[in-house]
Structure 1
Amino acid sequence: MAILPPHHVRVWRSLPHWRSRLVFWSGGATVGVIAALFAMLADEAQAGFRLLVAASPYGPLLLTPAGFALSVAVARRFFPGSQGSGIPQTIAARHLTDDAARQRLVSVRIALGKVLLTLFGLLCGASVGREGPTVQVGASILHAAGRASGRHYQGVILAGSAAGVAAAFNTPLAGIVFAIEEMSRSFEQKTSGLVLTTVIIAGMASLALLGNYTYFGYSGATIVSLKDWLAVPLCGLGGGLLGGVFSRIVVAAARSKGRVQSLSRGYPVAFAACCGFLIALLGLASGNTIYGTGYHEARQLLAGASDVPASFGLLKMGATILSSISGIPGGIFAPSLAVGAGIGANLSDLLPGVPVGTLVLLGMVGYFAGVVQAPITSFVIVMEMTDNHAMAIPLMATALLGYGASRFIGTEPIYHALSQSFLPNPSGASSRGTKPDDH
């Protein structure tokens, strides 16, 4: 029987060893529970908005701009740092060495504001998702747990981010890949085991409340013929280019020193109200389908439903751009997948005979890879969300083409580009490649 070396025995018996694990494990469980509750409340918020639209199709013309204005006012006054997706703040927090500055991006207060205002945005018809916010919430919880223990632990923000993705989508593998590819660009040996166990525990906690489910249900889409394979370059290049355009517009709006920037910074509440009003107009043009996460429409398209309008993809893209630049809290994960689903469905006119479900699936991964420029995360998350492992190779190829198309037009990775505004030197080099000081 193998006997552990004396120094390993001392490590396993030491209080700090178990205290660090307790911080990660309890934090992971908390993230899983909060992510599950967040998901249920988000569904209720969207259901409430749909009831309003059913009662008065023109109601969003008043509710959405008023809700956007109130959300931005509350975020700026009580929860600064909660605006937008939350992933850029989390990336920036990993690169900050000052604890006070980090607290302004990941804290219990920020997490509370993020959840409440994202739910409020969904209740008002914003085209946002809860998954990006869950990343910031997860990072905030793990960071707070580490601080409460009286010690700083390397990897808490990384682990919280990965746990947030895993619990939000019920995709543990995607959570781990997201941590490696998007959040850290590397996987520190010292923290890899803790990150993995944190993701597992967060996923178990979420499963305990929501059950074992796939986000979009099972997709039986397959590629069986040469004509079907033509969908891969079409969805990859087309989706990637549009995803790159989306990313470029959002980043340009955040950095521009022109009229948009002067309006959003000089009159943030009024600017948000204008964005909300434009979204309401897009909602009327789309038959009230572009509000919220886009989950129901994407799921219908995957199932081959024909009652989603052909204009859904582009109008949803416009609504998501407006929501992103308005300054309200809310993510782009789920809306981007919905946009990709709509674009994939549109491409069916160019490839008659190819199953619409196949085009929708490939459109989702192509567009999403173009937006976030994280091809491995893109295909893994879509594969896990649809429980379709038979499409692994086509999804990989489409994700790589989408990533390449986005890079070809000079688009920066959206989360890392936006994270620069939360760092001391926003005009400096990209945070990619810098060594994070994640405590």
Structure 2
Amino acid sequence: MHRLTPRRARALLRRHGPEALVWRRRIAILGGAILIGLIALLFARLSDWAGEIFLTIERRCWWAPLLATPLGFAGLVWLTRLLAPAAGGSGIPQIIAASRDPEAAIRTLVSARTVAAKFVLTIGALLFGASVGREGPTVQIAASIMGYAHRAMAIPLRASVYIAGGAAGVAAAFNTPLAGVAFAIEELAAAYEQRMTLLVMAAVLIAGMVSLGLAGDYVYFGVMRETLSLGDALVATPVAGVFGGIAGGLFSRLMLSAGKSTAFAPVLWLRARPVAFAAACGIAVAVLGVATGLTWGTGYRTANAIISGAHVPLWFGAAKFVTTLATAVSGLPGGIFAPSLSVGAGIGDVLRSVFPHYPAGAIVLLGMVAYFTGVVRAPLTAVIIISETTASRGLMLPLLATALIADFAAQLVSKERLYHGLSERFLNRSMSPTVVKSENSGHLGGS
């Protein structure tokens, strides 16, 4: 036994006392995750409010979006470029890029200015009828919160801090803790540190509990109990997987191509004029929205109705595909999770006409998981999100089979994964000069 001297007591206090690194890290995780749950819930409520305001105006003055939406798109992109260029787009590519140089990213990609702009401008996009979701922006906001919580406790920032924050954001946004964990590992984890698994799990659990405690034990799309027999699944899953996967891969390829120098000349001409380009995208969204009355906003209500048995015109999926693509390439802040699930529901509605004697709700979910997988190329995340947001655990195996087939089909259309391809555009904004030089020399390892 060592005698407890004053010097040894001070050493033990530094290592295990309230100011020790392990305790500061626990406080940062707890405080950050609680704040993520609260902010995600507030963001969800304000986003829903913004969508309702737009639909109320659209119902009273059907022609108003033809003026307001293009002007709103142009104004929001101008504000984004003026105030916080890193706030544009989904938010998930920014976190992938931020993990490459976490210390530099807190001043750029996940700075307080960037995420504050992201919060306000995404709500603004929904006020003008943009086909955006709040889930991707929630990931960026949540990662920033976790980063600042660690910085406040004087803890060095690592990639796992942003990954844990982003995963907690997914869990709080959808009320799906398992999906948050899967998303962290499958999509954000190019630099995932296995020894920090507890950080991810704790952040997801705490943020999910905060959201659950305040919003209640709700199921995002409502409970769906239908299942497929083995024979039906063997027939339907390949068809849904190929059809949805190719459609999702096409969305990914078009979105990635829009920002490259190989894009069509008119697109390049407009891309050089971002505010005009945003207005043109707004015109496309407004015209389709006014013509159909179904493609505004997140698409949550339409998707929920389709799952519940309602039918929509067969062209709904294609129309929502176009408005989501136009919104996504315009440069507006906003995500593609919810709109992609809505497009997938439209594809599922088409598949219902192909399989009229199969359980309708189950077929719709196959279309949703196939298209969503094709877009984000994260089959495990897609399956868990669909399963948790519909409580359809009896469909896990058909959903997983469909997602794996869709992932393979999407690769035939787009070799590059969407979020990772988009993250390349943010790398130079987040990296310090030393890291950029190292990256260009091909010597950068996982952070």
TM-score range, shorter chain: over 0.9
1:76 to 72, 76, 81: 81
Q: Is 2:290 the partner of 1:279?
A: no
Q: Which amino acid aligns with 1:249?
A: L
Contact persistence 1:23–1:146 (CA under 8 A): yes
Secondary structure of 1:81's partner? helix
Deviations 1:326-347 (A, max 9, x none): 0000000010011001001111
Following the alignment from structure 1 to structure 2, what is the Cα–Cα distance between the partners of residues 92 and 27?
Answer: 21
**Which residues in structure 2 correspond to 1:186-335 (within 5 Å)?**
187-224=192-229, 226-258=231-263, 259=265, 262-286=268-292, 288-306=293-311, 308-335=312-339
Following the alignment from structure 1 to structure 2, what is the Cα–Cα distance between the partners of residues 108 and 209?
Answer: 25
2:166 to 161, 168, 173: 161
Q: Which amino acid aligns with 1:211?
A: G
Pair 1:390–1:123, CA change in 2 (3 A) = same
Aligned-pair distance for 1:255? 1.8
**Which residues in structure 2 correspond to 1:279-428 (within 5 Å)?**
279-286=285-292, 288-306=293-311, 308-424=312-428
Secondary structure of 2:86's partner? coil
Pair 1:56–1:229, CA change in 2 (3 A) = farther
Following the alignment from structure 1 to structure 2, what is the Cα–Cα distance between the partners of residues 93 and 342?
Answer: 34
**Which residues in structure 2 correspond to 1:10-21 (within 5 Å)?**
12-13=16-17, 15-21=20-26
Q: Which amino acid aligns with 1:171?
A: T
Following the alignment from structure 1 to structure 2, what is the Cα–Cα distance between the partners of residues 145 and 241?
Answer: 41
Secondary structure of 2:131's partner? coil
Contact persistence 1:375–1:396 (CA under 8 A): yes
Q: Which amino acid aligns with 1:312?
A: F
Contact persistence 2:76–2:332 (CA under 8 A): yes
Q: Which amino acid aligns with 2:124?
A: F
Task: Calculate the TM-score normalised by the size of structure 1.
Answer: 0.92
Contact persistence 1:264–1:326 (CA under 8 A): no
Counterpart position of 1:115: 119
Following the alignment from structure 1 to structure 2, what is the Cα–Cα distance between the partners of residues 182 and 134?
Answer: 15
2:139 to 135, 142, 157: 135
Q: Where does structure 1 lack aligned partners over 5 or more consecutive residues? A: 1-6
Pair 1:383–1:12, CA change in 2 (3 A) = farther
Q: Where does structure 2 lack aligned partners over 5 or more consecutive residues? A: 1-10
Aligned-pair distance for 1:352? 1.9
Following the alignment from structure 1 to structure 2, what is the Cα–Cα distance between the partners of residues 45 and 370?
Answer: 29
Structure 1 window deviating more from structure 2 (389-398 vs 342-351): it is: 342-351
Q: Which amino acid aligns with 1:282?
A: L
Following the alignment from structure 2 to structure 1, what is the Cα–Cα distance between the partners of residues 13 and 256?
Answer: 51
Following the alignment from structure 1 to structure 2, what is the Cα–Cα distance between the partners of residues 65 and 223?
Answer: 44
Pair 1:81–1:210, CA change in 2 (3 A) = same
Contact persistence 1:373–1:413 (CA under 8 A): yes
Pair 1:221–1:429, CA change in 2 (3 A) = farther
Following the alignment from structure 2 to structure 1, what is the Cα–Cα distance between the partners of residues 266 and 235?
Answer: 40
Task: Calculate the TM-score normalised by the size of structure 2.
Answer: 0.91
Q: Which structure is larger by alpha-carbon Rg, 1 or 2?
A: 2
Q: Is 2:151 the partner of 1:147?
A: yes
Secondary structure of 2:187's partner? helix
Counterpart position of 1:46: 51
Number of equivalent positions = 426
Contact persistence 2:106–2:144 (CA under 8 A): no
Aligned-pair distance for 1:10? 8.4
Following the alignment from structure 1 to structure 2, what is the Cα–Cα distance between the partners of residues 223 and 182?
Answer: 29
Secondary structure of 2:136's partner? helix
Deviations 1:361-397 (A, max 9, x none): 0000000000011111110111011111100000100
Secondary structure of 1:71's partner? helix
Contact persistence 1:180–1:186 (CA under 8 A): no
Secondary structure of 1:256's partner? coil
Contact persistence 1:67–1:121 (CA under 8 A): yes
Pair 1:398–1:50, CA change in 2 (3 A) = same
Q: Which amino acid aligns with 2:236?
A: A
